[in-house]
Structure 1
């Protein structure tokens, strides 16, 4: 085993997030044999690393006996499965789940954010119902998978330069999916699918709508349109393949219907709008050991800035707040709101058990390679996206978000399914943080992708919008990146393209959550 000539100070090679934490996060690879000098508060020891600690992984700075909780963020991220000594690499080989009950308090840490001193604005599309869009799309919504190919054939006629004559139309997006039939119409699964499709159909980023069905499905076209809260004046057309004469006839009719819509939609112009009109979706994927200390807390700062403007932020991914729910409950505006979150977590425990799993099956292999060990650690980092605002409401999947402030939506942790629910609920901009490197888009809402570390940002520069790794390198603070991100949200809401939009991503990532039996 080799040793370093001069011990490295802990602060130069790792980040310790709270004074009492057992672990610090390595900011560079620390090879086996490296000597690290711990702070005086931890005895001033010089430890020799018995194993290599990869960048983003955890280095023990305090001892923990087998069975004892291991702290990070000042919270338990699991229990030691064997004795851990200072200098050890802390990961799956010596850290397991902590199943101890957590103390739940409702509303004990509520902090009402003071209103912003200066009202900020963006340039958006005013809809006749008072809402504001950030994009001007024509949507093709399919009632059933059987009409998916037809919808794509229609949308394909408007790809490339054909829309150059309509510069104020962002595109024609076909929203296709794998269900719509074989479901009991009154079942939870059918209701979730219907709610999702209706959320997209009535989304403020949709300036025109074409609904395409087959004709014999359990979720028919008229069932999607009946009572739908569309902005007055929104052009809407319906096509049923069996009634229209088959695929070719339906494609011709669909193209003609959209061509008829284009001049009026292109005539719409952006106007000055208050930032309070924005609904911001908060999501993360491909998380790593830096997610909870760079991009996520920076996004939390941006979220707080928007909430202070009177706007709305939507946190989601219920399985990825498990173990950190007690922190959100303390910020709930009422016991009823907090209990709704607990009810959704209880539902998830039963749902995962029925599938032969448990809530601690997460993190994914990629998360673990990036330094995350348990769902507790992942969740504590994930909730940082929610900033410090009060939790004003808890919504079911794809349920319309009408409140102002921080809202939680019950979604799976799988990125496309989660973001689909958030957008269906009304998010007009999405910020997506990633450590490993996600490439998600989410039409009709723009997706701003934030890298948690500079290495990922540089390696995938053409797919990332912002580098939050500067927080680790010391060239920016969480607050500075958060404010930069808030400004980026306003710019993107005003029409600035994101990298996913430049690549025309976002149609295939429309993935409604599928629940229930298929008959």
Structure 2
């Protein structure tokens, strides 16, 4: 395995693929490099001497400025390098794109759930949720009722262990008495709650209405049971209008109950349970049928990134994104704070100036809100990112943007807007993993691809979240949360193209219900909306 690599021919920093000892002599591109200090794998060393103010180039773009003199072979750190990114001048021409050869997949299908509006889901979920946080407890109670009495008892291992201690029996003896009857073999029942719907500014409730409407409109959802209190900001009519605007001809079953109109909790629960059970049984009759791969919508995200993410897992997702763009499918690149520093390239890839201007406008508004709060995009790298080699936001962003491949950008969406155009779309979300995943699914993603170098167990209630590790050590250490290993790129076992194609094949099996993500196995159902306003 190689010890050093350069990502782009124009770079003036070199990535350490393995730990380097102080004083270690290496030959790279016919030149001798001596490690001035110990260097951990994933970190970068200077290719030449840097003076204060010199540009630091990686991925072929500006990612920082030297804050101190840096010797050739010295590791770059947050002490000797500060964040710096390229200036943005607006859309400047178009970047040419040659679609990849997709003959291998153009006639392939996946077995999905067809909806009346033409969308096709990878799951068949009946979803329970509240319009306001006041109904969270009632949603939790319904979850307890349905999961205990209706759903198969899959997650019993720890319960069996505790019961074995209480009853002083073996786990095997306890397990023999556990019921594992699946009454609904073709539908999942999921529950989400949130802290919104009232108390904040009205715009927050309107944005939450769009997000929840996006979840109902997502083809992974067969129908929904919705609880409303009655007096909250997020009124039923606001939700209905958001859904109608998103999907005027939706015929999904939607059951809405307003507690202040119904009366007692007992009366409401009896209505909700009876009506929902009948609707869920009807949803259970919907069967998987073949659909072209163009019906898939792929969300692209990274979380717990490391110094290898931008050179293995993220560019592998870029291959996937380009393949689906060529097949007529949709891909969605999110996390706007992690696109800081590559705005010019992305604007040039937009299909027209209107899209480019919208992207830049959203980026500037987001950054201003962060600055007004006393921070900045340069504070984006987390302690874990920095520890594993991502020392500036521009460096992190340049690697994160690789998930979007090279295809033209057909649309730019604000948070809560729903994806409609085939090809690569940009979605305005925070870099926060939970808020980003929640937003991707609300905008229509039927599969989310989530790269990680440090590990993250997060999933989603209605959409499978595929975890792709950037390094092999991670999947060896946390094999219970990782689905695909892109660390084989670092070891030289596979190319980025090969890993990308492997992920495409995995998606087809996943979308057909033949495999289950680790996050779904662990029931990692995370739903956290992005709250953009203040509380009143």
Query: How high is the TM-score relative to the length of structure 1?
Result: 0.93
Q: Is the CA contact 1:22–1:64 (under 8 Å) kept in the aligned structure 2? A: no
CA 1:46 to 1:445, structure 2 compared with 1: closer, same or farther past 3 Å? closer
**Secondary structure, counterpart of 1:457 in structure 2:** helix
The equivalent of 1:194 in structure 2 is 209
* Whole-Å separation in 1 of the counterparts to 2:294 and 2:148: 34
2:52 is the alignment partner of 1:33: no
| Secondary structure of the corresponding residue to residue 534 of structure 2 | coil
- Secondary structure in structure 2 of the residue aligned to 1:155: helix
1:206 alignment partner, one of 221, 224, 227: 221
Equivalent residue for 2:519, pick from 477, 489, 500: 500
SS at match of 1:286: coil
1:20 corresponds to 2:10: yes
Secondary structure, counterpart of 1:292 in structure 2: helix
Matches within 5 A, 1:115-514: 116-117=102-103, 118-159=106-147, 162-163=150-151, 164-169=182-187, 171-185=188-202, 187=203, 189-226=204-241, 228=244, 229=247, 232-495=250-513, 496-506=515-525, 509-514=526-531
In 1: Cα distance, 2:121 partner to 2:507 partner: 13
How many Å apart are 1:247 and its aligned residue?
Answer: 3.6
Distance in 1 (alpha carbons) for counterparts of 2:262 and 2:290: 42
In 2, distance between residues paired with 1:333 and 1:389? 10
Provide Cα deviations, 1:411-463, integer angstroms capped at 9, x if missing partner. 11101111111111111110000011011101201000000101111101010
Give a deviation string over 1:276-306, Cα, whole Å, max 9, x none. 0111000010111001000000011011111
In structure 2, the residue corresponding to 1:64 is in which secondary structure? coil
For 1:377 and 1:104, locate their aligned partners in 2 and report how far apart those are by CA, in whole Å. 21
Partner secondary structure for residue 306 of structure 1: helix
Q: How many residues align?
A: 500
Name the CA distance, whole Å, in 1 between partners of 2:26 and 2:264.
71
**For residues 14 and 283 of structure 2, what CA distance do their matches in structure 1 show?**
54
* Matching residue of 2:156: none
Instruction: Encode CA deviations 1:49-106: one digit per residue, 9 max, x unaligned.
Output: 2321111111222222110101111211100111112110112121112255245443
> What CA distance in whole angstroms lies between the structure 2 residues aligned with 1:200 and 1:105?
33
Q: What's the CA shift for 1:254?
A: 2.1
Cα offset for 1:19?
2.6
Instruction: Give SS of 2:425's match.
Output: strand
For structure 2, the 5+ residue unaligned runs are 152-181
In the alignment, the residues of structure 2 paired with residue 230 and residue 488 of structure 1 have an alpha-carbon distance, to the nearest angstrom, of 33
Secondary structure of the corresponding residue to residue 138 of structure 2? helix
The answer (yes or no) to whether the contact 1:106–1:334 under 8 Å persists in 2 is no
CA RMSD of the aligned region, Å?
A: 1.7
Query: In the superposition, relative to structure 1, how do residues 354 and 82 fare at CA in structure 2: closer, same or farther (>3 Å)?
Result: same
Partner of 1:74: 60
TM-score, length-normalised on structure 2? 0.90
Q: Distance in 2 between matches of 1:232 and 1:341?
A: 30
Do the aligned partners of residues 29 and 245 (structure 1) sit closer, same or farther apart at CA in structure 2, a change above 3 Å counting? same
For the residues of structure 2 that align with 1:95 and 1:246, how far apart are their CA atoms? Answer: 63
Contact 2:206–2:238 (8 Å) recurs in 1: no
Aligned partner of residue 454 in structure 2, secondary structure: coil
